[in-house]
Amino acid sequence: MLSELDAEFIDLFVRMAQLVGLPRSIGQIYGLIYATPTPLNLDDVMLRLGISKGSASQGLRFLRASGAVRVLEVPGRRSDHYEAETSLRSLVSGFLKEQIDPHLESGLQRLSRLRQLSADVDPEDRELIQERIGRLENWHHRAGAMLPFVLRFLGR
């Protein structure tokens, strides 16, 4: 099972994952892969963490999509094996791309909907509501402009 050292690594990454709003299992999986010197496959992750195949698979898919783990081919083995990405630059830029980008895209639709709905607001409140929507649009524009800069700064 898990050594005390493995458990400490896992706990550290669980806390970090929860800090940024990710599920506990993401932190567990990344912590295990980070702490393990040899690449692990899906079955290894399930067995060592005692989690379901669905949870392990979903967690590995997220970690892979965000660039936190790399897939390796192990000679003589047919299953994918995973190794941790250890570059902070890659981890942060992958997280930003995976977590922030989709919110920015859906934000445009929500802001458009707010604009439409504000037309039906009582005329004496409309100016204030539209000013606040304008402020949100400005925030959205700034966040969208800043993300590519942050990603470039991180080297991705």
Could you read off the pLDDT of 11-26 as tens digits, one per residue? 999 999 898 888 999 9
Instruction: Supply the pLDDT for residue 109.
Output: 87
pTM confidence score: 0.71
SS3 content of the chain, % helix, strand, coil (to 5): 70, 5, 20
Same domain, 14 and 73: yes
Could you read off the pLDDT of 105-145 as tens digits, one per residue? 788 889 989 989 998 989 889 899 999 999 999 888 888 77
Same domain, 92 and 79: no
Could you read off the pLDDT of 38-80 as tens digits, one per residue? 999 999 999 999 999 999 999 999 999 888 999 998 888 888 9
Same domain, 78 and 123: no
Same domain, 60 and 15: yes
DSSP notation for 123-147: HHHHHHHHHHHHHHHHHHHHHHHHH
Same domain, 92 and 77: no
CATH code of 60's domain:
1.10.10.10
What is the total count of domains within the chain?
2
Residue 156 pLDDT exceeds 60: no
